[in-house]
């Protein structure tokens, strides 16, 4: 989720999603670096069930960062739920959590939320409500930017976990399965009344790939990221992606401009 001000001064919240493996975390890291270069105070929130944004940004000892979603005792306490009772606080106090669990790195902030895993126990509503409350409480100044990396697929939209955002970016690669997932995400986003939805193309090799996406999506992505060998190598060697802006050429700038116009 990114909270920004457009030219009218209206704040917006932006999330990024897509099929697993399409590179949404990589694109988010590059976009975060672009905003930082332009003088913004950047906060990245990793809300993926298998978070690895810390590694992508080059945070030291990422294994020491425990996702907030795994702190079930803390979340249950904060929700006000008592054992044996179905009641819990719908508006828990989360202000201190927003500060206490931010990691500072290279001029940016990172918060690793993770995602509540219900498993065989059914709905984990109180814990999920605390996480949702944390996201909606992010009230930022005009110089701050928040990027939210959602879990892959469409399930989070069905649960309404990103309801209330203003703009959803859907990352899609030139494959039929990725296009099918992207269109499902778009449909569910429309169902939950997200005002603005845009596609972002990734792993693009030529004009044929661009045309394939445009025809399959019925829409033109607002930015195209090339299939970069340098980025692929960096990911394998765990080199921070946001140090490779040149490998992505002008795509991060184009995407940032599209978001801020």
Q: Identify the residue with better confidence: 63 or 3.
A: 63
Task: For residue 96, give every residue at least 6 positions away whose Cβ sits within 8 Å of its Cβ, in sequence order, or none.
Answer: none
Q: Compute the average pLDDT of residues 101-118.
A: 80
Q: Compute the average pLDDT of residues 195-200.
A: 94
Lowest mean pLDDT among 61-75, 81-95, 170-184: 81-95
Q: Compute the average pLDDT of residues 155-176.
A: 75
Answer yes or no: are the C-beta atoms of 2 and 146 closer than 8 Å.
yes
Print burial letters for 26-52: b (CB count within 10 Å at least 16), e (below 16). Answer: bbbbbbbbbbbeeebbbbbbbbbeebe
Query: In a 10 Å sphere around its CB, with 0-12 CB exposed, 13-18 middle and 19+ buried, how is residue 164 labelled?
Result: middle
Answer yes or no: are the C-beta atoms of 98 and 137 closer than 8 Å.
yes
Query: In a 10 Å sphere around its CB, with 0-12 CB exposed, 13-18 middle and 19+ buried, how is residue 205 labelled?
Result: exposed
Rounded to two decimals, the pTM is: 0.82
Query: In a 10 Å sphere around its CB, with 0-12 CB exposed, 13-18 middle and 19+ buried, how is residue 57 labelled?
Result: buried
Under the banding of pLDDT at 50, 70 and 90, the label for residue 87 is low
Q: For residue 100, what is the DSSP state?
A: H
Lowest mean pLDDT among 70-79, 142-151, 178-187, 201-210: 70-79
């Amino acid at each position: 989720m990114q909270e920004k001000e457009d030219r009218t001064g209206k704040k917006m919240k932006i999330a990024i999603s897509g099929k697993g493996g399409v590179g949404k975390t990589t694109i988010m890291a590059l976009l975060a670096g672009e905003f930082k270069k332009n003088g913004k105070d950047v906060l990245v929130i990793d809300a993926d069930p298998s978070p690895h944004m810390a590694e992508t940004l080059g945070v030291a000892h990422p294994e020491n960062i425990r996702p907030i979603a795994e702190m079930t005792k803390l979340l249950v306490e904060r929700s006000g739920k008592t054992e044996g009772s179905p009641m819990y606080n719908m508006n828990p106090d989360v202000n201190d959590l927003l500060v206490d669990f931010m990691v500072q790195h290279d001029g940016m902030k990172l918060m690793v939320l993770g995602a509540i895993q219900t498993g065989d126990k059914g709905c984990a509503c109180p814990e999920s409500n605390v996480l949702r409350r944390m996201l909606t409480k992010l009230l930022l100044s005009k110089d701050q930017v928040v990027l939210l990396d959602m879990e892959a697929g469409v399930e989070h939209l069905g649960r309404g976990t990103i309801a209330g955002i203003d703009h959803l970016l859907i990352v899609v690669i030139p494959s039929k399965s990725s296009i099918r997932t992207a269109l499902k995400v778009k449909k569910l986003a429309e169902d939950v009344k997200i005002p603005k939805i845009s596609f972002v193309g990734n792993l693009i090799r030529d004009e044929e790939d661009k045309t394939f996406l445009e025809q399959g999506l019925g829409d033109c992505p607002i930015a195209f990221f090339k299939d970069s060998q340098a980025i692929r190598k960096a990911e394998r060697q765990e080199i921070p992606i946001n140090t490779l802006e040149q490998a992505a050429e002008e795509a991060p700038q184009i995407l940032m401009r599209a978001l801020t116009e």
